[in-house]
Amino acid sequence: MPRRSSRLTIKQVASAAGVSTQTVSRVINARPDVSLDTRKRVQSVIEEFGYQPSALARSLIRQRSYTLGVVTAGLKYIGPSRVLNGIAGAAEGMGYSLLLKELPQFDSNDVYPIFQTLLSRHVDGVIWGVPEVGPNRDFIDRLNLDSEVPVVFLTMAPREHLKAVSIDNYEGGRLAVAHLLEQGYRRIGHIAGPLDWWEARQRMAAWQDTLREAGLQAGAENTVEGNWSSASGAEAIEQLFRQYPAMDAVFVANDQMALSVMQAACQKGINIPQELGVVGFDNISESAYFWPPLTTIEQDQHALGKIAVEEVIRMIGFQWSGAVAPAPTPVTLSPTLIVRQSSVRRSP
């Protein structure tokens, strides 16, 4: 037998175990048609000598690359990086590697060269992880994706005949505003994210609908648009204080802008939560350490990435088996309200 440090071949494993190479392959792929004694003998050889199956050989035999193309943007931001982390962990666990492409900006729409690059590298499927911003989904109508590889889109409005996986931003907004109403707040303002983002529009629509259903005001003078950054949150809350001086609570479209709201309130001597209730969105790790700790909406972006991988691999399975795949339906994950001190002025 070769030394442990040598690169074993499947033939050498078969010879050491006294079986055929086909039997070793069946054990590696967890096929049921191998006796328990034979399986144990083969696994013992594999473990003793550290045999690693060749990914290249597997790809050549099955004519698949076991690679997923992932397109993203804005990895310096918390959301996209969390999603990518979920994608990477799930792909590794299911035996796939990733080919990553990052767009220079969220609203890029010149994506044909990226698809061509991914297809030229023979990816088995694509996860389009760029959030829907402005017209950055217009390319869908121009590219014939059905004839190429399975594609799963993240964070976008549902579209017929496309597989989209998203978090329910509208439901998250309703949870936030309903909580403030339950705490007795009635004059609830909103600092929106950039409204060319689908997510920001969903959160704003939830704020409007929930207040109007309660018979309360949700007009243009009660909201200001930010751009997700803390700096924009600082500008937005100052404008909102001027526009809506009677405001007693604010739903902020992300935690980074909410941090600025809390700082501005502190500087003005406004007590949180008695005089101003604050609810954010995202549940970034720092939100529990704001003062007071921030009530927020948690969206599990790690799970979003994981489910995207599961969905695209399921679609790949249908494609390679020749089976008729079911019509794609959207997958929507539910967010969770995390209640902390910044919005609680009534005892449970």
Identify the CATH number of the domain in which residue 21 sits: 1.10.260.40
Whether the per-residue pLDDT at 236 is higher than 80: the answer is yes
Residues 24 and 125 both lie in one domain: no
- Does residue 4 lie within any of the structural domains? no
Q: Could you tell me the pLDDT band of residue 239, with boundaries at 50, 70 and 90?
A: very high
* Average pLDDT value for the chain: 89
pLDDT of residue 284: 93
Domain annotation covers residue 5: no
Q: What is the pLDDT of residue 1?
A: 45
Say if residue 161 is in the same domain as residue 173.
no
Residue 254: inside a domain: yes
For residues 60-68, give the mean pLDDT.
Answer: 68
Residue 74 belongs to a domain with what CATH number? 3.40.50.2300
Q: In this predicted structure, what is the pLDDT of residue 70? A: 97
Q: What is the pTM of this model?
A: 0.80
Asked whether 106 and 133 are in contact (CB, 8 A), the reply is yes
How far are the Cα atoms of 51, 223, 263, 272, 273 from residue 266, in angstroms, in the given order?
Answer: 62, 20, 5, 8, 11
pLDDT, one tens digit per residue, over 3-40 is 444 566 778 888 888 998 888 877 776 666 788 888 88
Note whether 137 and 170 are within 8 A (CB). no
Residue pLDDT, tens place only, 170-223:
999 999 999 999 999 999 999 999 999 999 999 999 999 999 999 999 999 999
Taken as a whole, the chain contains a residue count of: 348
Judge residue 225's burial from the number of C-beta atoms within 10 Å of its C-beta, 0-12 exposed, 13-18 middle, 19 or more buried: middle
Structure tokens at 278: 């604050």
What is the count of structural domains for the chain?
Answer: 3
Percent of the chain with pLDDT over 90: 62
Q: Encode pLDDT of 277-297 as tens digits.
A: 999 999 999 999 999 999 999
Please give the residue range of the domain that contains residue 135: 63-168+302-333
